Structure formats: C-alpha cells, structure tokens
Amino acid sequence: MKKNKLILLKNEQQHEEDLETIQDINEALSKIDYHYSVFTPDLRAFEQMVAVEQQKQKKKFRRDLTSFILIALLIMTGLITAFFQLPFAFIIIQGVATISLPVYSFFRYRKRVSVNEYES
C-alpha cells in the first residue's frame, strides 16, 4: 500500500482561503438570484386545477356507472326473456358462458407464461 502524502498548509492561510471561497460562492448565488427571479404560482391556481380535475372525474364516474347499469339491465333482460320464453336457449347461453370463462382464463395464463419464458 502507498501512503498518501498530504501537504498541510498553515491553518490561518487555509481558513482565509475557505472564507474567501465561501464569500465568492455567496456573491455568485446572490447574482443568480437577482438576475433569474423564480416565479411561484398562486395557491388558488392549484386549487382551481384540483377542483376542475375532480369535476371531470365525477362526470366520468357517473357516465361509466350509467353505462354499466344500462348494459347490465340489457343483459339481465335478455337472460330473463330467454329463461321464460325459450328455456333451451337460456340453458345454451349459460353453458357457453360457463365453459368460456375457464377456457379464456387458460389461454390468458398460457400466453402470459409464454411471454415470461421469452423474456428469460
């Protein structure tokens, strides 16, 4: 191992250089602050942006909820009609739905596993 050789300056000389450097840095920073003022936006502007975004989210939620309810009512009406008018059609619809969910899940799992193997 090599020993690091340090040349020590007199403490007074080093202290003066440090003070001068700190003073130079402070002067440079104050010049930067003077020439480039920072704009801080008003708090009301942020509050207004949040309020507008909340209104958009509420409208979207209401629209999505209304769509969901309408589609659910349409599906339920179709199933109830099929159950009472054409029981055989109702049984076929239920069978297809019961079989398709596990098949769909299996293919999604298989696709995900093949993608993970490809990445490895």
| 8 DSSP 8-state letter | P
pLDDT digits (tens, 9 = 90+) for 78-108: 888 877 888 887 788 888 888 988 888 888 8
- In 3D, which of 59, 93, 61, 96 has the Cα closest to residue 78? 93
pLDDT digits (tens, 9 = 90+) for 65-82: 999 999 999 988 888 887
Contacts of residue 115, Cβ cutoff 8 Å, sequence gap at least 6: none
SS3 content of the chain, % helix, strand, coil (to 5): 85, 0, 15
Q: Residue 14 pLDDT more than 80?
A: no
Amino acid at 9: L
Q: Identify the residue whose tokens are 């936006």.
A: 41
| 7 DSSP 8-state letter | -
pLDDT > 90 in the chain, percent? 27
pLDDT band at 9 (very low <50, low <70, confident <90, very high): low
